[in-house]
């Protein structure tokens, strides 16, 4: 893949789409309800792994495995939430990271269940590559055929994936946006503002937080599913805490509670992240790929620090909303 | 029984390093009001400074340790002026501080990766020298580490209890507004707290590097959650608590692998033991062992 | 007539400090009762216990004959008890109108399942409560600010908003913690008037904490006095005014103060 080809943009676009869905989940939890959930990547992992394990080990059809994956992530979200939701923001953050790390450790060490550190490629046992992607490829091919009728030769695998991911992302954005603008969403925002006030007005704060966590987890699971479909094979390392940090960067960059800024942030992120792998012109050629990876992360870190220092409301947020915090 | 003795000795080694890292986090908590997510990377910084002195320049490990302490203290102070103080002036809330800490962690760790690459590194020490004390066998690195760590613990404990600075730090940690009213120079105490916390982080990083034998810049994050677990176990806001918490957690995680405990936990799951302690304490007794009952 | 609110032998300590010590009081329906006492007497702690924000160490609280001690704040609020806070908890990054809309009870649009299953019901309720919210805001002259962030309101305006918001919850009993503090005198008088009217026309019951003894004496049917966590007197304003223990409590509290 060369830089700036259609394939390149399709690839960046798919990453951006997956991250939009992931960030949307975080938006519900953090942007609207004020939950500092730092275990978000674990929901993605639970979704992806549940689907893969059910297909390979239990011969589930893809659609059933995918639904089960989303249900599993919701269940995990509730399990996480029940004990931790009454903790203060930063303690909630640390506890959720701990939960996520436990998930990652289990994924690495329970080789027979998850394929271990090399990931789902080993899911079917040593020497046999797992293939849960077969059904997905069929689905994709169907869409691709349809797409060819519309845009002809440009309907490559990556472009097809791009269309599917973004179609889903847009539908989810519309639906979740509507939910967040509703009276239900209003309660979530009040919890972010002042839990005691919300409580005094008769709102069951704990129940609403659980709902936000569950919805966010479901969205993360969908992102995890698309991740699995796009990359075929994945390993525990793909669900590192860094992934959660990236999602936070996107949410904060757009300005918390600005739902339509999420795709913008995700695309920017996709460019920084996926894009810089493929730029083969100076100054990028001065750094080898490992160094570029480190630079990317330094840039993300600086963006986060810079935002907190100079523009905590993000690119699109309103200054007044931060001043009143 | 000898297995238990060995595990306890190992636990003391891990625990004492956790303790000095944890007390740094705890002191800083008094200033920042959040647990500093970047603290693990202050440790890594110290470890790599020591690496430069010890391996690149051929200096003695003691010299490397001094360099680690001093330069990490300098880093911590510089970051106070560049990042934490401006954020406090802007009245940044818990979210903003936490996110800024994450950004800092990313920058520090990957800057070290950039400078030093991902190869596992080790110090110039004799890895084959083993000391036997009864049923316990400790490598030279472990012995050096536990000796220095315990000495540091004693020094820090004395400083906190006996010196004016120590009292000021504890007052600040307890109640900032009251401390200012009581005539404590808050700004000066804050800087000195960072100096102490930074120095402790530097030495903790070096010691952890010694004990791990070989390490990469990721070891800071790997240690971070156990450090937080130690702070929480001992009681957030209590520096003595952090010392106790670190030692206890080190012992608990090592002894959890004891075969007499239903086969013992598999050693790879030791971090999970630490995480579980963290989660359990926060749920059952959030103020920890020595902390004051605060509403979380 | 049985009391609307009863607190029996409430004890609450924080660490080594006994905030409330075997406090017992009752509030009759359709009445305005004042809760007074020097600073640190335990009044706000008592409010916290009654409204569910604090769990009593011992004792019981009954609302309309039903035990509510130990229940969560939202459960207590659902049973018709509304409260305001000493420092008003206006939801600053939401608009004044949104603050009010939140307070409306029985909103199907706030339940995720009902939002999805019967969106029409939610929309209907939203229209209803919007009208009522603007009406209530109009009574305290805040309707012009309905679209503004609550954070831009002055301290006194926030107190008004909190009070109006509490009314929006359609309560039986209102616990008001220093409702006049920071409100300008003319508006304060109007507020007192409104409280009286609400009591007359809608049968609402009020329990208010206030430090302005003139206000207290003029508007209350009954006065309860607390000192050092205990209830030391209860009766009509006249009875309480002439009670020597009350004078002692206030003098004692002021003894150490300069001037």
Q: Is B276 helix (H, G, I), strand (E, B) or coil?
A: helix
Whether B292 has its CB under 8 Å from any CB of chain A: the answer is no
pLDDT in tens, A286-307: 677 788 888 888 988 998 899 8
Average pLDDT, chain C: 88
User: Is the pLDDT confidence value at C256 over 70?
Assistant: no
**Neighbouring chains of A at 3+ CB pairs within 8 Å?**
B, C
pLDDT > 90 fraction of chain C, expressed in percent and rounded: 49
Once rounded to an integer, what is the mean pLDDT over residues C20-24?
90
User: Cβ–Cβ of A201/C102 closer than 8 Å?
Assistant: yes
Q: Confirm or reject contact between B231 and chain A (CB < 8 A).
A: no
Q: For residue C137, give Cα distances in angstroms to A186, A203, C130.
A: 19, 22, 10
Closest-CA distance of chain A to residue C83, Å: 7
In angstroms, rounded to a whole number, what is the distance separating the alpha carbons of residues B228 and B231? Answer: 5
Which positions in chain C touch A182 (Cβ < 8 Å)? 109, 115, 122
Reported as a pLDDT band with limits 50, 70 and 90, residue A216 is very high
Most confident of A88-102, A204-218, C150-164: A204-218
Residues belonging to chain A with any Cβ–Cβ distance to chain B shorter than 8 Å: 34, 36, 83-84, 86-91, 93-95, 97-99, 101-102, 105, 108-109, 241-242, 245, 248, 252, 290-291, 294-295, 297-298, 300-309, 312, 325
Instruction: Give mean pLDDT, residues A116-138.
Output: 73
Chains that touch C (3 or more CB pairs under 8 A): A
CB contact under 8 A, C91 and A194: yes
Whole-model pTM above 0.90? no
pLDDT at B202: 95
Question: Under an 8 A CB cutoff, do B35 and A290 touch?
Answer: no
Average pLDDT score over residue span A160-185: 93
* Chain B, window 80-119: residues with a beta carbon less than 8 angstroms from a chain A beta carbon: 83, 86-87, 90, 92-100, 102-111, 113-114, 117-118
Residue B295 has pLDDT above 50, yes or no: no
Q: Is 70 exceeded by the pLDDT of residue B296?
A: no
If pLDDT is split at 50, 70 and 90, which confidence band does A281 have? Answer: low
pLDDT band at A3 (very low <50, low <70, confident <90, very high): low
User: Which residue of chain A is at minimal alpha-carbon distance from C106?
Assistant: A202
At residue A120 the predicted structure's pLDDT band, cuts being 50, 70 and 90, is confident
Residue A285: predicted pLDDT: 64
Interchain contact, A184 vs C169, CB within 8 Å: no
CA distance to partner chain C, nearest, from residue A230 (Å): 31
- The arithmetic mean of pLDDT across residues C44-51, rounded, is 93
Q: Per the CB < 8 Å rule, is A83 touching B279? A: yes
How confident is the model over A69-95, as a mean pLDDT? 88
Domains, chain A, ranges and CATH? 6-321 (1.10.3470)
Q: Is the dihedral of CA B136, B140, B141, B147 positive or negative?
A: positive
pLDDT of A319 reads: 67
**Separation of alpha carbons B228 and C215, rounded Å:** 52
CA distance B278 to chain A (A): 7
Average pLDDT over residues C36-53: 90
Strands (E), chain A: none
DSSP string, A167-228: HHHHHHHHHHHHHHHSHHHHHHHHHHH-HHHHHHTT--HHHHHHHHHHHHHHHHHHHHHHHH
Mean pLDDT across C71-75: 94
Q: pLDDT for B164-212, tens place per residue?
A: 888 888 777 767 667 777 777 888 888 999 999 999 999 999 999 999 8
Angle in degrees, CA C155, C160, C165, rounded to 5? 125
- pLDDT above 70 covers a percentage of chain B that reads 97
Summarised one tens digit per residue, pLDDT across range B99-146 is 899 999 999 999 999 998 888 998 888 777 888 888 888 888 888 888
Q: Cα(C179)–Cα(C34) distance, rounded to whole angstroms?
A: 11
Binning pLDDT at 50, 70 and 90, where does residue B66 land? very high
Is C41's pLDDT higher than 70?
A: yes
User: Which of A98, A251, A302 would best serve as a mutation to test chain B binding (most B beta carbons within 10 A)?
Assistant: A98
Better-scored residue on pLDDT, B207 or B296: B207
Mark yes or no for CB contact A182/C89 under 8 Å: no
Highest-pLDDT range among A59-73, A239-253, B235-249, C237-251: A59-73
User: What is the pLDDT, as a whole number, of residue B294?
Assistant: 46
Average of per-residue pLDDT values in chain B: 87
């Amino acid at each position: 893949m060369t830089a700036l080809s259609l394939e390149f943009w399709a690839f960046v676009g798919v990453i951006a789409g997956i991250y939009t869905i992931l960030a949307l989940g975080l938006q519900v939890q953090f942007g609207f309800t004020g939950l500092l959930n730092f275990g978000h990547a674990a929901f993605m992992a639970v979704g992806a792994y549940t689907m893969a394990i059910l297909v390979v080990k239990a011969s589930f059809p893809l659609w059933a495995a995918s639904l089960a994956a989303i249900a599993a992530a919701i269940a995990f979200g509730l399990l996480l939430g029940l004990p931790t939701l009454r903790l203060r923001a930063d303690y909630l953050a640390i506890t959720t990271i701990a939960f996520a790390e436990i998930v990652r450790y289990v994924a690495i060490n329970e080789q027979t269940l998850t394929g271990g550190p090399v990931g789902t490629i080993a899911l079917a046992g040593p020497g046999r590559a797992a293939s849960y992607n077969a059904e997905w490829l069929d689905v994709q091919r169907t869409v691709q055929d349809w797409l060819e009728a519309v845009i002809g030769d440009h309907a490559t695998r990556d472009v097809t994936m791009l269309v599917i991911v973004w179609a889903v992302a847009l539908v989810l954005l519309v639906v979740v946006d509507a939910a967040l603008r509703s009276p239900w969403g209003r309660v979530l925002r009040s919890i972010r503002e002042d839990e005691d006030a919300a409580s005094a007005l008769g709102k069951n704060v704990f129940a609403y937080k659980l709902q936000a966590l569950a919805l966010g987890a479901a969205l993360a699971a969908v992102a995890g599913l698309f991740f699995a479909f796009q990359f075929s094979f994945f390993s525990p390392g793909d669900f590192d805490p860094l992934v959660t940090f990236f999602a936070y960067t996107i949410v904060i960059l757009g300005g918390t509670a600005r739902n339509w800024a999420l795709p913008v942030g995700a695309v920017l992120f996709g460019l920084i992240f996926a894009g810089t792998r493929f730029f083969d012109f100076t100054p990028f050629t001065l750094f080898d790929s490992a160094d570029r990876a480190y630079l990317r992360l330094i840039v993300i870190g600086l963006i986060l620090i810079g935002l907190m220092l100079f523009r905590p409301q993000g690119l699109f947020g309103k200054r007044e909303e931060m001043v009143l915090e | 029984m000898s297995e238990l003795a060995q595990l306890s000795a190992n636990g003391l080694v891990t625990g004492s390093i956790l303790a000095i890292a944890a007390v740094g986090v705890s002191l800083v908590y008094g200033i920042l009001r959040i647990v500093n997510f970047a603290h693990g990377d202050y440790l890594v910084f110290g470890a790599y400074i020591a690496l430069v002195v010890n391996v690149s320049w051929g200096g003695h490990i003691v010299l490397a340790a001094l360099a680690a302490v001093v330069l990490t203290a300098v880093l911590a102070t510089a970051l106070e002026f560049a990042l934490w103080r401006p954020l406090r002036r802007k009245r940044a809330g818990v979210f903003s501080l936490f996110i800024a800490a994450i950004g800092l962690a990313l920058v520090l760790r990957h800057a070290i990766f950039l400078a030093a690459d991902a190869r596992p590194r080790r110090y110039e020490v004799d890895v084959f020298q083993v000391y036997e004390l009864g049923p316990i066998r400790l490598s030279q690195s472990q012995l050096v580490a536990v000796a220095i760590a315990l000495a540091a613990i004693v020094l820090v404990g004395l400083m906190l209890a006996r010196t004016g600075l120590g009292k000021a730090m504890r007052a600040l940690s307890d109640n900032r507004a009251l401390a200012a009213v009581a005539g404590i120079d808050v700004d000066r105490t804050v800087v000195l707290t960072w100096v102490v916390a930074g120095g402790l982080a530097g030495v903790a990083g070096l010691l952890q590097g010694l004990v791990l034998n070989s390490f990469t810049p990721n070891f800071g994050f790997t240690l971070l959650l156990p450090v937080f677990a130690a702070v929480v176990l001992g009681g957030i806001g209590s520096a003595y608590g952090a010392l106790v918490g670190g030692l206890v957690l080190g012992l608990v995680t090592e002894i959890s692998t004891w075969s007499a405990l239903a086969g013992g936990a598999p050693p790879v799951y030791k971090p999970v033991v630490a995480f579980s302690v963290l989660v359990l304490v926060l749920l059952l007794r959030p103020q920890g062992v020595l902390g004051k009952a605060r509403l979380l | 007539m049985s009391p609307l609110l009863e607190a029996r032998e409430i004890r609450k300590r924080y660490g080594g400090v006994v905030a409330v010590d075997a406090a017992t009081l009752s509030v009759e329906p359709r009445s305005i009762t004042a809760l007074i006492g020097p600073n640190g007497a335990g009044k706000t702690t008592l409010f916290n216990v009654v409204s569910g924000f604090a769990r009593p160490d011992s004792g019981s609280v009954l609302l309309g004959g039903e035990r509510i001690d130990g229940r969560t704040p939202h459960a207590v609020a659902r049973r018709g008890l509304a409260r305001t806070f000493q420092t008003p908890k206006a939801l600053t990054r939401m608009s004044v109108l949104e603050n009010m809309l939140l307070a409306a009870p029985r909103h199907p649009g706030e339940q995720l399942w009902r939002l999805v299953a019967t969106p029409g019901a939610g929309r209907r309720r939203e229209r209803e409560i919007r009208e009522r919210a603007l009406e209530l805001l109009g009574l305290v002259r805040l309707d012009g600010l309905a679209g503004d962030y609550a954070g831009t309101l002055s301290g006194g305006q926030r107190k008004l908003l909190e009070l109006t918001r509490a009314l929006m919850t359609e309560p039986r009993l209102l616990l008001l913690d220093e409702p006049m503090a920071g409100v300008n005198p003319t508006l304060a008088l109007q507020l007192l008037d409104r409280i009286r009217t609400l009591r007359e026309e809608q049968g609402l019951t009020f329990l208010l904490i206030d430090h302005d003894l003139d206000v207290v004496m003029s508007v209350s049917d009954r006065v309860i006095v607390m000192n050092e966590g205990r209830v030391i007197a209860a009766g009509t304003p006249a009875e309480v005014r002439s009670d020597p223990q009350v004078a002692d409590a206030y003098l004692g509290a002021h003894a150490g103060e300069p001037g």
